[in-house]
């Protein structure tokens, strides 16, 4: 492994979710998996989060810079509430590739926080987000080696599955995370957690 590779860390900035919401999503995943049967590579429930900015493999000096800059971003935001909305797929239910749970609530504050995070990431020399921000919790990815009929079935099941009414959760921190990949999927580890203005 080259020296430059060792100095890079796969990273993202996110908001955590509550344990109660995580349990609801775990049950939903189990219910869908019971019908779909091993056609989706699910995210570990403990790893579900709301991504504000995925940065990929970045140099450790950028991590150090973000550890200094993110506290200021967090303290410019008052804690705000979100709750689960519906299930969906990217790019759509006819061609599902990524399965997600949507969120609703104080989306205006969430959007402003995303823009502030994007500004900070640009300050450390990383590109701004080119796509529009579509807040969601990734639940799983459709396996590539399945038939078109099975892909259609997944889209139909997601379209017919509703999330139960869930309590809202209060977002109180902005988290800088690192990811390690293993054969069973990604594992996420906290690098720094920055409290919002209370």
CB distance 61 to 29 below 8 Å: no
CB distance 88 to 102 below 8 Å: yes
Domain 3-193, CATH homologous superfamily name and number = Cyclic phosphodiesterase (3.90.1140.10)
User: 43, exposed or middle or buried, with CB in 10 Å at 0-12, 13-18, 19+?
Assistant: buried
Whether this prediction's pTM lies above 0.85 is answered by: yes
| DSSP-derived 3-state class of residue 128 | coil
pLDDT digits (tens, 9 = 90+) for 20-53: 999 999 999 999 999 988 899 999 999 999 999 9
Q: What are the C-alpha distances in Å from 132 to residues 5, 52, 62, 182, 193?
A: 30, 12, 24, 30, 25
CB distance 166 to 24 below 8 Å: yes
Q: What is the distance between the alpha carbons of residues 78 and 18, in angstroms, rounded to a whole number?
A: 17
Q: What is the distance between the alpha carbons of residues 110 and 137, in angstroms, rounded to a whole number?
A: 14
CB distance 33 to 162 below 8 Å: no
Residue 139 in tokens: 């639940």
Query: If pLDDT is split at 50, 70 and 90, which confidence band does 165 have?
Result: confident
The pLDDT mean for the chain works out to 93
pLDDT digits (tens, 9 = 90+) for 75-129: 999 999 999 999 999 999 999 999 999 999 999 999 999 999 999 999 999 999 8
H helices present in 76-106, as ranges = none
Domain boundaries, the chain: 3-193
């Amino acid at each position: 492994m080259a020296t430059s590779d060792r100095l890079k860390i796969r990273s993202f900035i996110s908001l955590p979710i509550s344990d109660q919401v995580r349990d609801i999503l775990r049950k939903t995943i189990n219910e869908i998996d019971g019908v779909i049967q091993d056609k989706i590579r699910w995210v570990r429930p403990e790893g579900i989060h709301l991504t504000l900015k995925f940065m990929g493999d970045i140099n450790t000096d950028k991590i150090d810079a973000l550890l200094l800059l993110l506290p200021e971003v967090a303290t410019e935001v008052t804690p705000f509430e979100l709750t689960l909305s519906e299930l969906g797929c990217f790019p759509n239910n006819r061609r599902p590739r990524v399965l997600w749970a949507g969120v609703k609530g104080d989306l205006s504050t969430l959007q402003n926080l995303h823009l502030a995070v994007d500004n900070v990431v640009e300050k450390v020399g990383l590109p701004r987000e080119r796509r529009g921000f579509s807040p969601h919790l990734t639940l799983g990815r459709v396996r590539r080696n399945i038939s078109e009929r099975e892909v259609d079935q997944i889209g139909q099941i997601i379209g017919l599955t509703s999330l139960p009414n869930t309590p809202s959760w209060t977002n109180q921190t902005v988290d800088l995370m690192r990811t390690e990949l293993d054969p069973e999927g990604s594992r996420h580890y906290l690098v720094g957690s920055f409290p919002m203005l209370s």
